Amino acid sequence: MSIQSRSILHVDMDAFYASIEQREQPELRNRPVIVGGSPNGRGVVAAASYEAREFGVHSAMPASRAYRLCPSAIFVKPRISLYAQVGHQVREILSSFTPLVEPHSLDEAFLDVTGSLKLYGTASKIGHTIRARIKNELHLVASVGIAPNKFLAKIASDHDKPNGFTIVPPDKIAEFLDPLPIRRLWGVGKQAESRLKAFGVHTIGDLKQFPTDTLVETLGEKVGHHLARLCRGEDNRPVVPDHEAVSISHETTFAQDITDRETLRAVLQQLTEQVARRLRQQSVKASTVQLKIRYEDFQTYTRSVSLPVATDLTRELWDAVSMLFTERLPDRRLQVRLLGMGVANLKKGQAQQSLLSGDSENSRDRQLDHVRDAILDKFGNQGIQPGTGLTQSDDTR
């Protein structure tokens, strides 16, 4: 099967956290809602409803600034357990159409429905059915992008938000991509955009006409070749479901570069919580913890550390990635465009050595994780939160 004959969907929940709060609290509907910390403290915005976004509010923004932009906004404390429970319900809907579901975060996922077309109809029909089920069963709204590969599907799902539905057929790739601004390409930050615009490159179509050699010379070999492929809509990555993954990761790209260290730590904590929960859901443990950070000039660094014993404990994963963030990053100004946390070297069914040896601290951590997971599975609306400051931030969707 050729790459271009695949049918890939990207399903992205619209204003996920804020929409859940509006669903749970009818008095918040059609009003500007900001999920995050208090505007009177050092809190940050975890999510904003579309009504709040009209005032310029976006995720990872200091809550105090969000309040100045939108004084009429209603600030709501995050309920991560509730959001994770709803994310699991969304995942169940997606998995009913294909086993090839690759979660990207709590509120978005890729699906390869190529093998499901004979059973469920066209990719368009599957996409419409998924949206209808999410609306009817969960009373939430999702945007869907359909294309021959993951990159195009992701761009398509974001093309007409909220409640968007965009199809990019193989013979319409150039027609879809060429008019879009270059900042829509993965890897084009403010600095790269400024350099390209200096050459008269404003759209993806302009970039496609730009000589690859000059692009490499301008932005570096890795970024140059990367953008040369993307501007032509080329992306060969397969959809990798959880049970086949050799690693698990979550990352978030910020709407604006983040310079505040505490904001970055809050986001990193939430990414760690998501990864830890996915490990426990799959009954696997990880012996390698990874940190990924991308700066405004697209310089990307990955750091990793090996653990003495494979684990799925939230605290142990956080201790490791926090050390990487604090001690292993280059000595340069924090102006961060992307932050990610992941684990690798997954081991199935390995006993927890520290528990067997009677480590009371790890035993307590495991009990806390199990209690949180159990409450999340059965009573997600209770909003159990870990005591690590996770209430301050989350993924930027």
Q: Is the dihedral of CA 220, 226, 227, 229 positive or negative?
A: positive
The DSSP string of 82-120 is HHHHHHHHHHHHHHTT-S-EEEEETTEEEEE-GGGHHHH
Active site residue 327: no
The b-or-e profile of 374-397 (16+ CB within 10 A means b, else e) is ebbeeebeebbbbebebbbbbbbb
CA distances from residue 347 to 224, 245, 252, 286 in whole angstroms, order as listed = 37, 11, 26, 6
The b-or-e profile of 93-118 (16+ CB within 10 A means b, else e) is bbeebbebbbbbbbbbbbbbbbebee
Helices (H), 139-202: 150-157, 173-177, 190-198
Residues 47 and 18: beta-carbon distance below 8 Å: yes
Question: What is the chain's percent helix, strand, coil content, to nearest 5?
Answer: 45, 20, 30
- Collapsed DSSP state (helix, strand, coil) of residue 226: helix
Residue for token pair 């105090």: 64
Residues 219 and 309: beta-carbon distance below 8 Å: no
Helix or strand run (H / E) with residue 35: strand 33-36
Catalytic residue, candidates 51, 108, 273, 316:
108
- Collapsed DSSP state (helix, strand, coil) of residue 346: strand
As annotated, the active-site residues are 108
